[in-house]
């Protein structure tokens, strides 16, 4: 039976820093991502794609604010649904462009379950939207009531609640599509957050971290690998310092030690490493990979811990070979 990978693509990977987010820019970035995903498909992997929407949903929220005097503004979870459709289409079109008729693609809106009592609602942490100067961010916080935080030295951004994902409502549909041979593009922005109110699903104003959502989806479908695509080749220790060094092969115990030591900021690499550890620790000889699109296949196939030309591979505790050896 074919191995299954869940690939998580960041919203920042589709709208790079310094770009203003035109459709043409995002389409070009999606095309680069599609090349690496298609390489996995051609190697015999079944693939589900989960994508972030932080910049896109933040930009859409600004448009909503500016237009609220003319038309009603939509709640945050509804903006998540809009961007999930937008980016799902963008990625599907990019995959068709690269893969041609060799693979079938299905973009699926998905609702992700959250606990309405999750403490995250009292402490917003998820960055969305563009980067601002400190002065501009302070003015926006005062005028719009936003929560603002500094984001890993790159500037200031709006933050919103980011509750932990508990499962995908459409998990059976996702599984059926994978079994039927489709690449499934879903979980946009971590999925549309919903909770139980009076016995029925209802939208929740939050943005779910796409890396945690990808780890949850990978667990639910019994995936063999979790691939977290980012802008750097590999996870780095002492990032930005003279002692900076890359990690290409670590087990979950070492990854957790570095997390506890504060090596990986919450606004950038922290959620990726945490999601990778969460997935691998659930067992079954699983492996997680954190790298750029061009190094995905080489990192998944790397069985040499001394190889420093690939991305980061996170394996079970005390494992020197890991999965797929």
Instruction: Pick the catalytic residue from 11, 129, 190, 191.
Output: 11
Distance, in Å, from the CA atom of 51 to the CA atom of 230, rounded to the nearest integer, reads: 11
List the strands of the sheet with 156-160, edge to edge: 126-132, 156-160, 147-150
Instruction: Pick the catalytic residue from 10, 80, 126, 322.
Output: 126
Distance, in Å, from the CA atom of 305 to the CA atom of 325, rounded to the nearest integer, reads: 12
pLDDT of residue 10: 82
Average pLDDT of the chain is 90
Range from 36-40, 130-134, 307-311 that averages highest in pLDDT? 36-40
Instruction: Pick the catalytic residue from 59, 129, 195, 210.
Output: 210
- Would you call 210 a catalytic residue per the annotation? yes
pLDDT of residue 20: 80
For residues 8 and 324, the model is more confident at: 8
CB-based contact 235:291 (threshold 8 Å): no
Instruction: Pick the catalytic residue from 58, 188, 189, 272.
Output: 272
Coil vs helix vs strand at 197: strand
Q: What is the 3-state secondary structure (H, E, C) of 29-80?
A: HHHHHHHHHHHHHHCCCEEEEEECCHHHHHHHHHHHHHHCCCCCCCCHHHHH
**pTM (2 d.p.):** 0.89
- Would you call 272 a catalytic residue per the annotation? yes
- Would you call 181 a catalytic residue per the annotation? no
Over residues 191-203, the pLDDT tens digits come to: 999 999 999 999 9
């Amino acid at each position: 039976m074919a191995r299954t990978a869940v690939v998580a693509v960041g919203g920042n990977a589709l709208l790079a820093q310094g770009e203003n987010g035109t459709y043409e820019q995002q389409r070009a970035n999606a095309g680069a991502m599609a090349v690496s995903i298609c390489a996995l498909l051609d190697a015999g992997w079944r693939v589900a794609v989960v994508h972030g929407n932080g910049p896109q949903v933040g930009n859409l929220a600004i448009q909503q604010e500016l237009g609220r005097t003319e038309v009603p503004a939509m709640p945050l979870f509804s903006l998540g649904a809009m961007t999930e459709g937008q980016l799902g289409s963008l990625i599907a079109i990019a995959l068709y462009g690269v893969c041609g008729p060799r693979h079938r693609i299905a973009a699926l809106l998905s609702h992700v379950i959250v606990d309405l009592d999750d403490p995250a609602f009292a402490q917003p942490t998820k960055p969305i939207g563009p980067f601002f100067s400190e002065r501009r961010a302070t003015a926006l916080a005062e005028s719009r009531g936003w929560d603002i935080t500094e984001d890993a030295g790159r500037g200031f951004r709006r933050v919103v609640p980011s509750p932990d994902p508990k499962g995908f409502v459409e998990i059976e549909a996702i599984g059926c599509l994978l079994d039927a041979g489709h690449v499934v593009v879903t979980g946009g922005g971590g999925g549309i957050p919903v909770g139980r109110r009076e016995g029925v699903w209802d939208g929740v104003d939050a943005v779910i971290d796409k890396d945690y959502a990808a780890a949850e989806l990978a667990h639910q479908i019994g995936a063999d690998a979790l691939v977290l695509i980012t802008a750097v080749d590999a996870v780095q220790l002492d990032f930005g310092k003279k002692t900076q060094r890359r990690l290409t092969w670590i087990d979950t115990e070492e990854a957790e030690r570095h997390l506890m030591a504060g090596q990986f900021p919450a606004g950038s690499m922290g959620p990726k490493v945490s999601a990778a550890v969460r997935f691998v620790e659930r067992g079954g000889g699983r492996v997680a990979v954190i790298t750029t699109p061009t190094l995905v296949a080489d990192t998944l196939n790397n069985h040499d811990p001394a190889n420093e030309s690939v991305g980061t591979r996170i394996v079970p505790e005390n494992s020197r070979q890991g999965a797929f050896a």
